[in-house]
Chain A
């Protein structure tokens, strides 16, 4: 992926993986703000199922790094109460698949407290979870449920892709006075890149143009940014110049960056790992066509997961999830349908 280079960051940077960059954000803010604490299943002694919270127990003690029983609804619910009463909880939910267990607390409590109390009550809480559809996970361990949550006004939703964004977005999320759901892609935990040291935040609600191009925009998020980038590399050899917009935040959505890009390229593909029906891909396609219909040189093409539960076996997963060839095919079809790219 076209990671931002070290030259783009002022000050000192160090090379980290996404997983380490997330930990860096937690450590930084826990040291700075004693209201911040972490709770979740296996987050303390074990350091989290994916190692994100490793070492925090030793550094900050058991009052601020809490291992919990398997009680997702209560974890989010206690987070809400602790947040209202002056704390800055960061709750870890091991899989996106388990968020529905806490749905009422997320959708009808966390998301709504600010609005439904006329602004009197705020819920400054972060709920982190891992997502990605991959072989071996199956229907309850590899869902991409992010699309379901864009339907609940009041939640902020972030989905970092680069290590720098992982640190910057998570730090911004902890400081945000609103509930923020952080979707961390399994595909990206190991991705390395430069991360600014110290106080580094990335504003929530701002997309990033990962690759500039003039022929077609791919609007995407999470692990699919990698596939979009791989497709763009291959298409470059065919003389097609792709622009990639990485959403980074699903709510609020950075409509300006998305629409500016498509207004320039006049062709758009939306690419998402979540199920196509009613998801972020549907939202993006509607957004683009409502605003830019007259400028478009072809239909907005949606590429997203097939609307089936995530299966276990590799060939079944491969058939469900968008791949690089699918993106290339779609680009070529748009090229033919809309005449030559230039």
Chain B
């Protein structure tokens, strides 16, 4: 059972993730950031539930809607926001943007904009963990859209054959950009695919952070004990459009969106804690306010941070060979 302190920490994290997306949206609307946003609002319980159940030596690979995963795994807010805003101080020095980062300093293998493209990255990292005999577990975050990419199938098959310590966390928000899941697959639950690869597949409520935490904890323990991979399908919904500028209503009804907003993961945990007498409305409001104030502060610093110089560095495409030897 999760203790109150852990639940409160997860609540705080979820508010932070949501606040970060709202800050990005604000910056996007006033053209202070480059490229688009991919809002994670509504899906916060997955990143937070999963990452809270991991150890610091465990690894994650993410995808285009990845800011939430990074924050939950321990990314620095200023460095992350700088990258979103194309600043030199960003994780990738402005070269990658929010869809292209990586930092093993906090167990983050990388994210890219090819849907499904980092599922083999995570699987390969798990292969490394197994070959080296380490205790690392790797989480591969991806969406329901990625589930239909060929390389995802290939990777999961290998994870099954080699019993790799990897957790496939499928964030089923039910739309691959605008195309609904029912137009994309003929099965009821994506988790059924786990059986096809010889490992366990589970469908859980992705808006219940406690359920996500517990499922991840079990899957991680199994992976560490040599029990192989797990497919965790987390049912959820993205409140916003696929990207900034997509209201998300051309392919989804307002009623559907509203119904899912009622299943808000933050509201759910907040109400649970209030019911248990562990949280007051006042404390919640105070916590939220301090998080949003922190984000305002970080955003101010990031906006003031310099852009990269207008220059091409041809040496930047390769790692220096001198570091090759051990």
Residues of A within 8 A of B (CB): 33, 37, 63-64, 68-69, 71, 73-74, 76-87, 89, 104-105, 108-109, 112-122, 124, 153-154, 156, 175-178, 204, 252
For the side of the interface on B, what is the size category?
35 or more
B158 with A82: CB separation less than 8 A: no
Give B100 Cβ to nearest chain A Cβ, in Å. 4
User: Of the candidates B90, B138, B316, which one forms a contact with A115 in the assembled complex, judged by CB atoms under 8 Å apart?
Assistant: B316
Return chain B residues, CB-CB under 8 Å to A69.
Answer: 154, 157-158, 161
B161 with A114: CB separation less than 8 A: no
Interface string of B76-96 (1 = CB under 8 A from A): 000000000000001111111
Return chain B residues, CB-CB under 8 Å to A37.
Answer: 131
Return chain B residues, CB-CB under 8 Å to A116.
Answer: 92, 95-96, 100-102, 112
Give A125 Cβ to nearest chain B Cβ, in Å. 9
Interface string of B46-65 (1 = CB under 8 A from A): 00000000000001010000
Please list 27 pairs of residues, one from A and one from B, whose beta carbons are closer than 8 Å in the complex, sorted by A's number.
Answer: A69-B161, A71-B154, A71-B155, A73-B120, A74-B120, A77-B154, A79-B124, A81-B120, A81-B127, A81-B138, A84-B109, A84-B125, A85-B136, A87-B128, A87-B131, A87-B132, A109-B112, A112-B100, A113-B102, A114-B318, A115-B317, A116-B101, A117-B92, A120-B101, A177-B321, A178-B318, A252-B318
Within 8 A of A (CB), among B31-76: 59, 61
Interface string of B291-326 (1 = CB under 8 A from A): 000000000000000000000000011111101111
A86 with B114: CB separation less than 8 A: no
Return chain A residues, CB-CB under 8 Å to B320.
Answer: 177
Measured between alpha carbons, how far is A59 from B123 in the docked complex, in Å?
26
B103 within 8 A of A: yes
B117 with A109: CB separation less than 8 A: yes
Known: A79-B124, A119-B319. 19 other contacts (CB 8 A): A63-B131, A69-B157, A71-B155, A74-B151, A77-B121, A77-B124, A82-B127, A85-B129, A108-B112, A109-B121, A114-B317, A114-B318, A115-B317, A116-B102, A118-B92, A121-B102, A121-B110, A204-B321, A252-B318
Most buried by B among A74, A84, A124: A74
A109 with B318: CB separation less than 8 A: no
B104 within 8 A of A: yes
Measured between alpha carbons, how far is A71 from B95 in the docked complex, in Å?
31
User: Of the candidates A87, A119, A121, A204, which one forms a contact with B316 in the assembled complex, judged by CB atoms under 8 Å apart?
Assistant: A119
Measured between alpha carbons, how far is A124 from B324 in the docked complex, in Å?
8
B126 within 8 A of A: yes
A86 with B132: CB separation less than 8 A: yes
A77 with B123: CB separation less than 8 A: yes
Return chain A residues, CB-CB under 8 Å to B323.
Answer: 122, 177
Most buried by B among A81, A112, A117, A119: A81
Measured between alpha carbons, how far is A65 from B155 in the docked complex, in Å?
18
User: Of the candidates A82, A108, A115, which one forms a contact with B128 in the assembled complex, judged by CB atoms under 8 Å apart?
Assistant: A82
User: In this complex, what residue of B is CB-closest to A91?
Assistant: B124
Return chain B residues, CB-CB under 8 Å to A112.
Answer: 100, 112
Known: A108-B117, A121-B103. A78 touches B124 (CB 8 A): yes
Give A72 Cβ to nearest chain B Cβ, in Å. 8
B316 with A81: CB separation less than 8 A: no
User: Of the candidates A64, A73, A74, A118, which one forms a contact with B131 in the assembled complex, judged by CB atoms under 8 Å apart?
Assistant: A64
Return chain A residues, CB-CB under 8 Å to B151.
Answer: 73-74, 77, 104-105
Measured between alpha carbons, how far is A4 from B113 in the docked complex, in Å?
47
Known: A81-B125, A86-B128, A118-B92. A156 touches B318 (CB 8 A): yes
Known: A82-B125, A86-B132, A117-B110. A176 touches B95 (CB 8 A): no
B277 within 8 A of A: no
